[in-house]
Amino acid sequence: MLMLAISVLVSCSTTVSVETEEGLSNAIENVFDEALAKKLEADPYGMRMYVMAFLKEGPNRDLDSTAAANLQRKHLDNIGRLADEGKLSLAGPFANDGNPVRGIYIFNVTSLNEARKLTETDPAIQAGSLEMELRQWYGSAAVQLINENHKMIAKEDI
């Protein structure tokens, strides 16, 4: 059975390390999925440009707890909308360690101007609770697959 699995893997040319019953490890060569690379707009290295946003504390952070919770809900809803539209590949907060940089976004766009327009849709930006520093970032084109995979592992919505 193990040899059948290895022969199937070899015929598919998938990159894996196979541990045999004798404890030997065999490397099997990469497979290139041209259709997926094209869909993700990957360069020959499997990479592409994005825009990363560093979310920083803005000047208007003195909200009462109800207003702050309401603004946070709108902020999270906007994140979900951008992700559903395919414009946001990754978002998340940093640990609350007192640093004024609160979190990051990785926008699935290459233009700083387009990312700036997207940041302007964030209610926390509009309210001045957060500010964003935008920088172009070169990363794996597979970052775009995070959202669809995340939906398969999240039991609850944020």
Q: Does 107 or 150 have the greater pLDDT score?
A: 107
Q: All domains of the chain, ordered by start, with CATH?
A: 2-31 (no CATH), 47-153 (3.30.70.1060)
Q: Does 115 or 154 have the greater pLDDT score?
A: 115
**Rounded CA separation 32/34 (Å):** 6
Per the DSSP assignment, residues forming a β-bridge with 52 are 106, 135
The residues, ordered by sequence, that sit 6+ positions from 6 with a Cβ below 8 Å of its Cβ are: 18, 20, 26, 28
Q: Does 145 score more than 50 pLDDT?
A: yes
Q: What is the pLDDT of residues 86-120, one digit of tens each?
A: 999 999 999 988 889 999 999 999 999 999 999 99
Q: What is the pLDDT of residues 9-57, one digit of tens each?
A: 333 344 445 555 555 555 556 789 999 999 999 999 999 999 999 999 9
Q: Does 135 score more than 90 pLDDT?
A: yes
- Note the pLDDT of residue 151: 87
Give the Å distances, CA to CA, from 132 to 16, 61, 71, 73, 126: 40, 15, 16, 18, 11
- Note the pLDDT of residue 97: 83
Mean pLDDT, range 52-65, rounded to an integer: 95
